[in-house]
């Protein structure tokens, strides 16, 4: 019987020392035995005991754990999720390249595609991921270098069909799987080329590391590494240590968070102050069956639209006592944010409207508090508005 990913999260990414917790190598530089050895490390691939921008043993431990969990030959970590996204794009695209991307990506990813990419002469076509065949139809043979998807999407928790992305041949396909975590889905199993995570979120899980990671076939990851050494969005070994430590408890954290998220989503659905609730494992989610098919859990985020506007959201959020107003997710504390003025701020009203991000929308990251306490707090604050 194959080992479950929950167990792999405990067994993967160990070095050959007897230490049970990850070993921290804070070094930026290593001595070499002579010039021949120095040349070998400087000109070869991914030396992790040479200079920290090339690699670091603590980071390597984290990367090998992610590779094993994602069923990949190789993984590469970065200084943040955005470091991963920008490096992947700039390593694989040049002036005149074309990208197909879904239209409801995380705000900073969208901003990167609309701003710097445009400035560098990289064209982007945005597609509706819920329309079957939309990605493949937008691919321009010989010109499209990348197809970028994010599932579940941030903040509205839309689901993109992984099999559809994996079936696209020609351009490299990338799936941002941050909201699912490596224990929630495995895009590479569907033929996707690169899976990407902001490990800042659920993987690390304690709001104390900023780190991103990608995984895929060795040759592809090596070629992205060759560019990443010049780009320089290198991860801190301290953050890699925290991310690997976080990975060890991800399964039990997700069990609590996803059970609470589903119960809270179910409960809020029938509240008179709530216009709509989006949660992938909620039967009312428009892509519920696809979510059930490709995900092991529904995630720890719940999108809730209130009847009202920014001020309604502001007074609701102000009267919550357990949930903190903050924009990240995946940590122990329940967080709530107003996407239109935080994660998606600056995208403009037209784009926000096309994404379905209204002024009444709030995004909850469900933490590790007891479900009944969270429900009591949320219902009390809702009744007060
Ligand atoms: C889906 C998704 N991808 C990427 C990122 C960027 O990650 P980071 O903040 O680690 O750069 C985020 C951040 O919230 C995100 O939600």
Domains of the chain: 5-246 (3.40.640.10), 251-383 (3.90.1150.10)
Which residues, including other chains, have CB under 8 Å from residue 247's CB and lie 6 or more apart? Answer: 9, 12, 13, 62, 65, 66, 69, 203
Structure tokens at 146: 């990348």
Among 109, 159, 178, 214, say which to mutate for ligand 1: greatest number of ligand atoms within 8 Å of CB: 178
pLDDT in tens, 96-121: 999 999 999 999 999 999 999 999 99
CA of 111 to the centre of ligand 1 (A): 12
* C-alpha to C-alpha distance for 277 and 284, rounded to whole angstroms: 9
How confident is the chain (385 residues) per 10-residue block, as mean pLDDT?
Answer: 95 91 95 96 93 97 98 98 98 98 94 96 97 98 97 96 98 98 98 98 98 98 98 98 98 98 97 97 97 98 97 96 96 97 84 88 98 97 94
Which residues contact ligand 1 via a Cβ below 6 A?
80-82, 106, 108, 150, 154, 176, 178-179, 198, 200, 210, 212
Cα of 64 from ligand 1 centre, angstroms: 21
User: Is the sign of the CA dihedral 7, 10, 15, 19 positive or negative?
Assistant: negative
pLDDT of residue 1: 86
pLDDT digits (tens, 9 = 90+) for 267-317: 999 999 999 999 999 999 999 999 999 999 999 999 999 999 999 999 999
For 82, 188, 255, the CA distances from 69, given in Å and listed in that order, are: 21, 11, 17
Q: State the closest ligand 1 atom to the C-alpha of 85, by its place in the atom list counted from 1.
A: 4
Give the residue, out of 83, 86, 106, 158, with the most ligand 1 atoms within 8 A of its beta carbon, to mutate for a pocket test: 106
Largest CA distance in the chain: 73
> pTM higher than 0.95, yes or no?
yes
Distance, CA of 98 to CA of 32 (rounded, Å): 42
């Amino acid at each position: 019987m194959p080992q479950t990913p929950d167990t792999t999260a405990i067994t993967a990414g160990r070095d050959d020392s007897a230490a049970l917790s990850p070993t921290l190598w804070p070094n930026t530089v290593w001595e070499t035995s002579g010039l021949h050895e120095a040349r070998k490390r400087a000109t070869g691939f991914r030396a992790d005991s040479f200079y920290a921008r090339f690699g670091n043993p603590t980071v390597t431990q984290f990367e090998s754990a992610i590779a094993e969990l994602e069923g990949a030959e190789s993984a590469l970590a970065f200084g943040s999720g955005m470091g991963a996204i920008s490096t992947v794009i700039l390593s694989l695209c040049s002036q005149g390249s074309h990208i197909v991307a879904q239209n409801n990506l995380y705000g900073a990813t969208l901003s990167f595609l609309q701003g710097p990419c445009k400035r560098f002469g990289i064209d982007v076509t945005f597609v509706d991921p819920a329309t079957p065949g939309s990605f493949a139809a937008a691919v321009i043979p010989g010109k499209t270098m990348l197809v970028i998807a994010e599932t579940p999407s941030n903040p509205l928790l839309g689901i993109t069909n992984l099999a559809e992305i994996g079936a696209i041949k020609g351009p490299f396909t990338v799936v941002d799987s941050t909201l699912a975590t490596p224990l929630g889905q495995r895009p590479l199993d569907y033929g996707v080329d690169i899976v990407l995570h902001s490990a800042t979120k659920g993987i690390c899980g304690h709001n104390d590391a900023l780190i991103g990671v990608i995984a895929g076939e060795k040759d592809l990851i090596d070629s992205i590494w060759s560019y990443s050494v010049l780009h320089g969005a290198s991860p801190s070994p301290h953050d890699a240590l925290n991310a690997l430590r976080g990975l060890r408890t991800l399964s039990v954290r997700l069990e609590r968070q996803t059970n609470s998220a589903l119960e809270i989503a179910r409960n809020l659905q029938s509240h008179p102050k709530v216009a709509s609730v989006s949660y992938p494992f909620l039967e009312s989610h428009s892509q519920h069956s696809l979510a059930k098919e490709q995900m092991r859990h529904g995630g720890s985020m719940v999108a809730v639209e209130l009847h009202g506007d920014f001020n309604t959201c502001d007074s609701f959020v102000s009267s919550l006592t357990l949930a903190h107003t903050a924009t990240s997710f995946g940590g122990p504390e329940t967080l709530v944010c107003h996407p239109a003025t935080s994660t998606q701020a600056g995208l403009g009203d037209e784009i926000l409207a096309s994404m379905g991000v209204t002024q009444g929308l709030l995004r909850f990251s469900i933490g590790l508090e007891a479900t009944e306490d969270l429900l009591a707090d949320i219902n009390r604050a809702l009744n007060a508005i």
